[in-house]
Structure 1
Amino acid sequence: MRGMPAEEIHGETRLPVRKPSWKMIGPGMVVAATGVGAGDLVATLIAGSKFGYTLLWAAVIGCVVKIALAEATGRWHLATGRTIFDGWRSLGPWTTVYFAVYVVVWGFVYGATAMSSSALPLQALFPDVMPLKAWAIITGLLGLAFVWGNRYAIVEKIMMVFVGVMFVVVVYCAIRVSPDLGDAFAGLAPTLPSGSMIYTLGLIGGVGGTITMAAYGYWINAKGWTDVSWLRMMRLDNRVAYVTTGIFVVAMLIVGAELLHSTQIALAEGDKGLLDLDEVLENRFGAFTANLFLIGFLAASFSSLIGVWHGVGLMFADFVEHVRAHRAGKDPAETEVVEIARGARERSLPFRLYLLWLTFPPMALLWLDQPFGLVIAYGVLGAFFMPFLAVTLLWLLNTSRTPEEWRNGWLSNGLLAASAVLFVVLCVEEIRDLPW
């Protein structure tokens, strides 16, 4: 494997064994902070407000599914020394076409969405300072400047801070509402109340499940983990991240169940639902708890912005390098993982051009409202991404593209197959719900 000197052991060349260390945890927390945005928190709150603790089991299963997907992505990067995009490209030109369209259209609409989401808590905290659009532009520019001027190590540190803020705030709110532990434990028994199917599937597949799961492999490479000697460390990192995500989800479900379900308070769909919750918290517990919640809302939204700017920027840079290498008749896989590990992709022109694409063109949507056709394209492409990821990982990790000893076992295949079916169902539902 590339990226690490080998040593001679009993006449065989092997990589030194890396012991997992809690001190090295990082890329998984970046995934957790990026994947859990304001919209995910609202979806969980609404599930709790409608069904109480009944769907708690779905949140737990959702974490297991995400652990399997992220582990498979990381294992591909470490076992093959190639990026996930290189794997997709090996499946045929259709994957390159899909990704090219996806990353451009999705990035354009997501840029406006992320800026607006980050602006909402700021305007609520400082209502008389400036309008929402101005706050949105400021958050976009701050995210651009931060990712442009810093390497992965600094991005990881600030994301760990955001995770800490989110964790403290969400858990604090869950404790303040005085959860009924008996009902909560009862919610671990799988049941499906009438009308709960879509909410159940959403809890299992939706929270923390975005393109950033594919970016996880790039983040572990940027951390300096470039071969299978880091596999145990990656697995520890991944599990801690999604256990943390699970705590977020369970805590928000508790808030929804205790604060909203019993009083039949309805939240607005989308990020603005968190502002409704802010008002409920202020009426129930006072201004301090409400303001603390808004700070957690800001951490969830702005961390997603920074994570997407950085992680998807790395993926786009890798995509461009592959297109260039293909035209020149070269194999970029010979150097790509090492290039990411030493930060070359973060300094590349494609990386920075994509940061600009995520920041400036989407600002037009803050005034123009999202054009109808763009909303449709964004929704369709976004709905197809998670099924695309699950199916392609099954394909890549069960064929000769992966060294035999690192291919999927029965457990990984079972979880990936189940997640593929789940995401296909969610994809169909999301497309049916689009404003055609």
Structure 2
Amino acid sequence: MTDEAVRTDESTHPVREGHTPQISLKKWQIIGPGLVVAGTGVGAADLVATLTAGSRYGYALLWAVVVGVVMKIVLVEGAGRYSLATGRTIFEGWRSLGRWTTWYFAPYIMLWGLIYGASAMTSAALPIVTLFPGVNLELTAAATGVVAFLMVWFGRYRTFEKIVSALVLLMMVTVVGISTLALPNLGEIARGLIPMVPDGSTIYVLGLAGGVGGTITLAAYGYWLREKGWASAGWMKVMRLDNTIAYVVTGIFVVAVMIMGVELLYSAQLAISSGDNGLIDLSEILRDRYGDVVGTLFLVGFWAASFSSIVGVWNGVSLMFADFVGNLKKLPRDHPDLHTGGKYFKWYVLWLTFPPMLLFLLEQPTGLVIAYGALGALFMPFLALTLLGILNGSRTPEEWRNGWVSNVLMGICTLLFVALGVNQFVNAFS
């Protein structure tokens, strides 16, 4: 196909390759893959981490949330820029750096999928079990996984994007709406934007800046761009707008969660449980203070955040796995098995859904949890370092390589993720 050939993207608008699409802020179709990656990345663990930080330090660490949003914009923009500028996937970029990337990624994606599948299904089931006492947690978790499996197995990208966008809207409306009831102190919020690190808060700073908003799903952005039909450098401006808006929305959501942590927990000197049960504790506090309706709405937002992560991972990481297998088998990029609904895509959806259910029978699968924590701690440094590698030099067209600003920001991201990764690695074995 020549550069003058016309193709049609998923929004049914003819687009010439190499031509810059016109951006219309009145058309919601320009916001899609970014909202998917942002909505997928924010799960129950992020909510608990933000609530805990707010309950311990008030608004003092709010600036770290803003830093985290900027970092995610930088990293996801880098992944999207590489895909649009080169026409290659992120895994192709990794492989160009050497075989070591494959040796890391292969065990990571298999082990990560097994443990994440079990924890994500349980997380999404917890608010349902809380709303309907007497319902079995493990059976509800398994049913949640099967529902996500069917939606991803039989759906296509356009349907998937609409589902995740609706879930993001639901969690935004519920959580942000509830945070306004807490009557946040605007003066304290403004002071929280001034960087400070209270005693004992270093790990919370690292967690808020580096951990909120996704890990492996950040690398899936390029695949969602491809599925959307944004496949050339002509879409660069649209991609950047999509990515920025999506993470600003994520930032607003996380700030709303911190407001609840400060106004409901910090001011009253209340503590919540660790893990997902902390969100159940918060729902009870909301129920006591504002009534059953508000407590129930928070559980709905909790469920939307958890289920959007499941559906997003089931789709996005399955696309990454399909690309991984396709590269090893040297399949062409347009091979149907490498896209949504393809053979290798479906194989990994199965892996995410059914083998993890066996872990429900084990209260503490210690060996797997340790290995998962160790590998997971290394992924974000891996992503930041490899983006620096592929976005500098001949692997990327000169026009779209990193400038000094991008390199400085990605360098800071790398250092932060290395520090956070070392802490998580140590904790995995302690």
Same fold (TM over 0.5): yes
2:5 corresponds in structure 1 to 5
**Partner-residue secondary structure (3-state), 1:347:** coil
Q: In 1, distance between residues paired with 2:417 and 2:290? A: 38
Query: Contact 2:40 / 2:214 at 8 angstroms: preserved in 1?
Result: no
Tell me if structure 2 keeps the 8 A contact 1:4–1:227: no
Residue aligned with 2:270, SS: coil
* Counterpart selection for 1:50 from 42, 47, 56: 56
Equivalent residue in structure 2 for 1:110, among 111, 116, 140: 116
- Kept after mapping to 2: 8 A contact 1:74/1:216: yes
Percent identical residues: 55
CA contact (8 A) 1:106 1:378 kept: yes
Which residue identity is paired with 1:44?
T
Change (3 A) 1:339 1:238: farther
**Residue of 374, 378, 381 corresponding to 2:372:** 378
RMSD: 1.7
1:3 positional shift: 8.3
Contact 1:59 1:246 in 2 (8 A): yes
2:428 maps to 1:434: yes
Structure 1, residues 377-428: CA drift from partner, whole Å, max 9, x if none?
1001111000000000000001100011110011111111000000000001
Summarize the Cα distance change of 1:300–1:14 in structure 2 as closer, same or farther, 3 Å threshold.
Answer: closer
Matched, 1:20 2:26: no
Following superposition, the deviation at residue 272 of structure 1 comes to 1.3
Amino acid in structure 2 at the alignment position of 1:122 = I
The counterpart of 1:411, out of the listed 390, 405, 410, is: 405
1:91 is aligned to 2:97? yes
Deviation, 1:4, is: 7.2
Q: Deviations over 1:201-260 (max 9, x none)?
A: 111001013100000110011000001000000000000110011001111111101100
AA aligned to 2:420 is L
Letter in 2 for 1:103: I
Maintained 8 Å contact 2:4/2:17: no
Letter in 2 for 1:37: G
The one-letter code sitting in structure 1 at the alignment partner of 2:159 is I
Q: What is the rounded CA distance, in whole Å, between the counterparts of 1:185 and 1:42 in structure 2?
A: 23
Residue of structure 2 in register with 1:37 after alignment? 43
Question: Which residue identity is paired with 1:124?
Answer: T
For the residues of structure 1 that align with 2:307 and 2:378, how far apart are their CA atoms? Answer: 25
C-alpha distance in 1, partners of 2:273/2:2? 50
Matched AA of 1:394:
L
Checking the alignment, whether the CA contact within 8 Å between 1:63 and 1:243 is kept in structure 2 is yes
Residue identity in the other structure for 1:16: H
Q: 1:145 to 1:297 in 2, by over 3 A?
A: same
Aligned to 1:297: 302
- Counterparts of 2:2 and 2:120, CA distance in 1: 37
Structure 2: give runs of 5+ residues left out of the alignment: 8-15
Does residue 121 of the first structure (1) align with residue 127 of the second (2)?
A: yes
Q: TM-score, normalised by structure 2?
A: 0.95
Structure-2 change in CA distance of 1:367 and 1:14 (3 Å): closer
Question: Secondary structure at the residue paired with 2:215?
Answer: coil
Alignment partner, residue 161 of structure 2: 156
Q: CA deviation at 1:362?
A: 0.4
Tell me if structure 1 keeps the 8 A contact 2:60–2:192: yes
Aligned partners of 1:117 and 1:301 also within 8 Å = yes
Say whether the 8 Å CA contact 2:149–2:353 is kept in structure 1: yes
Work out whether 1:174 is the aligned partner of 2:173.
no
CA offsets per residue over residues 50-90 of structure 1, 9 Å max, x none? 00011111111110000000000000000000000000011
Question: Aligned-pair distance for 1:21?
Answer: 3.4
1:385-396 superposed matches below 5 A: 385-396=379-390
Counterpart CA distance in 2 for 1:344 and 1:392 is 22
Contact conserved, 1:3 with 1:227, CA < 8 A, in 2?
no
Q: CA, structure 1 residues 77+378, in 2 after alignment: closer, same or farther (shift >3 Å)?
A: same
2:65 match: 59
For 1:144-199, what per-residue CA distance to the aligned partner results, in whole angstroms no more than 9, with x for missing partners? 00000101100000111001011111111210111011111111111111111110
Q: Please tell me whether the aligned partners of residues 19 and 232 of structure 1 are also in contact (alpha carbons under 8 angstroms).
A: no
Distance 1:18 1:186, change over 3 A: same
Q: Paired residue for 1:183?
A: 188
Match of 1:227 among 208, 232, 238: 232
TM-score by length of 1: 0.93
SS in 1 for 2:323: helix
- 1:258-297 aligned at under 5 Å gives the runs 258-297=263-302
Alignment size in residue pairs: 419
Q: What's the counterpart of residue 75 of structure 2?
A: 69
Aligned to 2:11: none
Q: Is the 8 A contact 2:17 2:234 kept in 1?
A: no
| Paired position in structure 1 for 2:244 | 239
Using a 3 Å threshold, how does the CA distance of structure 1 residues 101 and 181 change in structure 2: closer, same or farther?
Answer: same
> Which amino acid in structure 1 is aligned with residue 216 of structure 2?
I
Equivalents in 2 of 1:345, 1:255: separation in Å? Answer: 40
In the alignment, is the contact (CA less than 8 A) between 2:3 and 2:17 conserved in 1? no
Deviation at 1:344, TM superposition (A): 5.5
Q: Hey, what's the Cα distance between the residues in 1 that align with 2:34 and 2:203?
A: 27
The alignment status of 1:254 with 2:248, answered yes or no, reads no
Q: Counterpart of 2:20 in structure 1: which amino acid?
A: V
In structure 1, stretches of 5+ residues that fail to align are: 8-12, 326-331
- 1:170–1:251 CA contact under 8 A, matched in 2: yes
Verify the 8 A CA contact 2:65 2:255 in the aligned structure 1.
yes
After TM superposition, give the deviation of residue 435 of structure 1 in Å: 4.1
